[in-house]
Amino acid sequence: MRALAIAICLAALPACGTEQAATPLAAAPGADATAPAPAPAAVGVQVDIVAQGFEHPWAVALLPDGGFLVTERPGRLRRVSAGGEISEPLAGVPAVWAHGQGGLLDVVPAPDFAQSRRVWLTYAEPGPGGTAGTAAATATLGDDALADLRVVYRQAPKVRGPNHFGSRVAFDRDGHVFISQGDRNDKPLAQQLDKLQGKLVRLDLQGGIPADNPFVGREGARPEIFSYGHRNMQGMAIDPLTGVLWASEHGPRGGDELNLPEAGKNYGWPVISNGMDYGSNQPYPETIGTDAPGMESPYHVWAKSPGLSGMAFLRGQPDSPWNDSLFLGALADRDLIRLSLDGNRIAAEERLLQDLGERIRDVRVGGDGAVYVLTDAEDGKLLRITPKR
């Protein structure tokens, strides 16, 4: 593992501040409205390169043997040893629609991976006539190939366009798997319950539909749906301390969100939004404001979009200065966001890795408290981040 020629010591940034500071974090109306306090005194950051040379890596999974799995958006899955050796692409990966934001996306070990060797993948699946949609599959991990691939979820209908596929996978404590998605840049679909675009779906671990999903038995609604009104969820994680599901969501020009999705609730896109149309810098015609009856305002929102992607919690490390934190990758701002947590309350925000100038695509936390991030580039890197006191 090679150390970068930097050990970054960053001044802590106020969570709510001026434009000269990092992007401010604002509490949404009706959410956790306690204003975040300034972050505690910053510590140094040690950055080590685990491996590099990936083509637009999208997700990293930490394996029990100390190695990793890394997806590359063009459609390749690679093993990385604990020492940083990168394998040839594994065989048996499903065909992906690798255009725009589409391709091979998330990879996550199943909860029983130690026994089953099963992994979950999400990806943009090609359809007829140039259409595509988000899909999820499970497979058994071998030394140089996936076996027993089974597609367990397909977004319907498949539509045209290269954007807003999501997609992350998270497992709760009760035998469910959550699959985040995007609206495929077709805004009205996010509010239509007979379509799967712009929805968070919940399945059981065999790919079936849980009987207590909120829209089971409702005419004109897809039973897979857990929540709806989402624009493009590219980050999702279960808090290991509380069991609460958190999801990050891209706004348009402004208005990136954190949500704590709940069953059956409508998160508003595109009817409510804190962002603007890219072309006019005005609200979209469909948007009536930042809140509306029957729709959930964001738990927290950034006025200027960091470009939120992967996210991970660091809990249960009392000796770490980063204990009780949520880390989020930032693509547009090219840094790593650390939110200091007090339960579910966001107490402070700090920006790390600003000097790298890299798009941070994914974030995972190891059992030893180390933070692993992927940089999204033609020569992407897997980095290990640790506090340096």
The 8-class DSSP code of residue 289 comes to B
- 56, 99, 164, 250: the catalytic one is 164
Distance of CA 103 to the CA centre of its chain: 15
Determine the length of the chain. 389
Q: Tokens representing 197?
A: 């675009």
Q: Distance of CA 5 to CAs 2, 47, 49, 383, Å? A: 9, 8, 10, 13
Q: Quick count: other Cβ atoms within 10 Å of Cβ 127?
A: 18
Rounded to 5 degrees, φ, ψ at 199 are -120, 150
Q: Quick count: other Cβ atoms within 10 Å of Cβ 138?
A: 21
Distance of CA 44 to the CA centre of its chain: 26
Q: Tokens representing 360?
A: 């941070």
Residue 136 β-bridge partners: 122, 153
Contact by Cβ (8 Å): 8, 47 = yes
Q: Tokens representing 79?
A: 């093993």
**Sign of the torsion angle spanned by Cα atoms 368, 12, 376, 26:** positive
Helices (H), 64-110: none
Helices (H) and strands (E) in the chain, counts: 1, 25
Residue 57 β-bridge partners: 72
Contact by Cβ (8 Å): 15, 349 = yes
Least Cα distance to 59 among 191, 189, 169 occurs for 169
Q: Please report which helix (H) or strand (E) contains residue 72, including its range.
A: strand 68-72
Q: Which residue has the tokens 């959550």?
A: 178
Active site residue 176: no
Q: Distance of CA 71 to CAs 90, 152, 280, 339, 341, Å? A: 10, 19, 36, 26, 30
Contact by Cβ (8 Å): 154, 167 = no
Distance between CA 100 and CA 244 in Å, rounded?
32
Residues annotated catalytic, as ranges: 164
